[in-house]
Amino acid sequence: MESNKEIIDRVLDEFMPLTKIPRPSGHEKAVSDYLKGVFEGIGCSVVQDAVNNIIADLPATKGFENAPLTILQSHMDMVCVAEKGREYNPLTDEIKTIRTEEYLTADGTSLGSDDGSGISEIIYIFKTLEKHGPLRAIITVDEEVGMLGTEKLDAKYVQDASFYINCDSEEDDLLTIGSAGSLDVEFHREIHWGKTPEGKAWKVSVKGLLGGHSGERIGDGRGNALRVLGQLMLELGEAGISFAVSSMEGGQARNAIADSASFTFVSSADEKEILKVLDNRKKRFLEAYGAVDPGMHIELSADDKPEHVMSDEDVRALAELLVTLHTGIFAMSSALPGLVETSANIGMLRMTDKEVWFSYYPRSSVDYKLDSFSKKAIMLGERFGCPAKVGTPSPAWHERTDSKLAKIITEVFEEQHGAPMRVASIHAGLECSWMVKRNPKLDVVSVGVTTYDIHSPKERLLLSTVASQVKMIKETLRRIADM
């Protein structure tokens, strides 16, 4: 029997090749090809579908052919972000890992444990499990940009299964039995360029916010740097300061709370008058968010004079929309105390020579409220001249009280840990919702190793949870085989 250290080492042996293959959302062909070869090498029959999802079937061990089919699932894409100033091309660069006794982290970038750890555990389990019924691994693409891989997955791959274990949660002692639905929205504004006025060029940088996952951390009440960006641009105008914006950007991912943002502008105003507006915005921010987001600060620095600037109408429309859109908690659950029911996040703003666009990401466990956000986004986009592109909503996944799978896993966890497992629904989105939509009878749960600060350069995997998670899943699969 392998020791905990041996299990951790072998799971990481499966994880390390993933760090060598760039796999941002929408660019998974190379990692999909790699996984196809890995599962074929194990002895699975493998389908690589039209969007590069991998579906791998492992036959039951002898004598357990009639056991219920169980699916283990994770996703192959990752959120690719880097520290400020770090040179990093997610389309070409490897992830450089750092291993300590306690954690696995990356050198200045996100790690990709979300969900490389889930993939690695599934591969290891498929290679080493000695007693099991029929198993299927489903590794999807594009989970981080709207669950597009799951949305495109052929329903036949879940309709013949009885149990489904999603390996994409971030707390090893939590069994997730429900999750929120979500909606991808992008607002776009065509830029109208004009002549650069007289004056000095400046850059305003909003920094030091905590950010974090827009589902897991939204309930903390943290501030949003892109909202601050909009407020600053409006307040400079309200103070009578004439300025012309040449660029703006902020945030790192659509499903991460924006932790930083900046804009550059040209103005003839006195530096002290500009700083007065910035200092007042910082003071008002800390009055509202200082208890949970105390590190926010605003910097003013000289910048190179731009070749051209945006029209005042463009700047005002974008600023007003950023301030008008709801960010943060919208409603708490009436059925599950302490759980956020509905929220929204402004995640990332980028600019090209032709347009400015930014992402908006509502979540809710009530599908009707997502529909309301969709209609409101379209109306506000029209009102501010920033047309909204609205994606297909991901449905909510509601808990079931008669789950046999949840009962097995919680029993196994308590036997192995000597303490009960937490069981809860979460406000983050999981691919489970699409699976249940295709097969309402499917018994679904989500589990995972403990990972901190996902979707950020601070992402780190708690190594001690790897072995315990593998043991729990293995024992669960053994008990299903005996059913």
Which residue did the predictor score with more confidence, 428 or 102?
A: 102
For the chain, give the percent of residues with pLDDT over 70.
100
pLDDT one-digit tens code per residue, 244-259: 999 999 998 888 899 9
- In this predicted structure, the answer to whether residue 337 has a pLDDT above a threshold of 90 is no
pLDDT of amino acid 394: 85
Q: Which of 447, 481, 431, 482 has the alpha carbon at shortest distance from 58?
A: 481
pLDDT of amino acid 166: 97
Candidates 3.30.70.360, 3.30.300.20, 3.40.50.300, 3.20.20.100; CATH matching 185-390: 3.30.70.360
Q: Cis check for the bond before 77: say yes or no (omega within 30 of 0).
A: no
> DSSP letter string over 287-317?
HHHTTT-TT-EEEEEE-PPPSEEE-HHHHHH
Q: Which residues of 461-477 are buried (b: 16+ CB within 10 A; e: fewer)?
A: bbbbbbbbbbbbbbbbb
pLDDT one-digit tens code per residue, 168-223: 999 999 999 999 999 999 999 999 999 999 999 999 999 999 998 898 889 999 99
Which residue did the predictor score with more confidence, 336 or 229?
A: 229
Confidence of residue 160 (pLDDT cuts 50, 70, 90): very high
pLDDT of amino acid 1: 75
pLDDT of amino acid 252: 84
Q: Which CATH architecture has domain 4-179+397-481?
A: 3-Layer(aba) Sandwich (3.40)
CA–CA separation, 282 vs 269, rounded Å?
20
Length of the chain: 483
CA distances from 220 to 253, 293, 331, 432, 472 (A): 18, 9, 13, 25, 30
- In this predicted structure, the answer to whether residue 443 has a pLDDT above a threshold of 80 is yes
Confidence of residue 393 (pLDDT cuts 50, 70, 90): confident
pLDDT of amino acid 147: 86
> DSSP letter string over 421-463?
PEEEE-SS--THHHHHHH-TT-EEEE----EESTTSTT-EEET
Confidence of residue 383 (pLDDT cuts 50, 70, 90): very high
CA distances from 102 to 8, 12, 98, 108, 294 (A): 11, 13, 11, 18, 28
Which amino acid does the sequence have at 311?
S
pLDDT of amino acid 479: 97
Per-residue pLDDT, averaged over 294-301, amounts to 97
Q: What is the mean pLDDT of the chain?
A: 95
Numbered ranges of CATH 3.30.70.360 in the chain: 185-390
Confidence of residue 439 (pLDDT cuts 50, 70, 90): very high
CA–CA separation, 343 vs 39, rounded Å?
39
Q: Which of 59, 78, 11, 53 has the alpha carbon at shortest distance from 139?
A: 53
Confidence of residue 110 (pLDDT cuts 50, 70, 90): very high
pLDDT of amino acid 334: 81
Quickly count: other Cβ atoms within 10 Å of residue 168's Cβ. 22
Confidence of residue 235 (pLDDT cuts 50, 70, 90): very high
**Straight-line distance from the first to the last Cα atom of the chain, in angstroms, rounded to the nearest whole number:** 24
For the chain, give the percent of residues with pLDDT over 90.
88
CA angle 343, 348, 350 (to 5 degrees): 150
Q: Which residues of 311-321 are buried (b: 16+ CB within 10 A; e: fewer)?
A: eeebbbbbbbb
pLDDT of amino acid 255: 85
CB 433 within 8 A of CB 179: yes
pLDDT of amino acid 32: 98
Numbered ranges of CATH 3.40.630.10 in the chain: 4-179+397-481
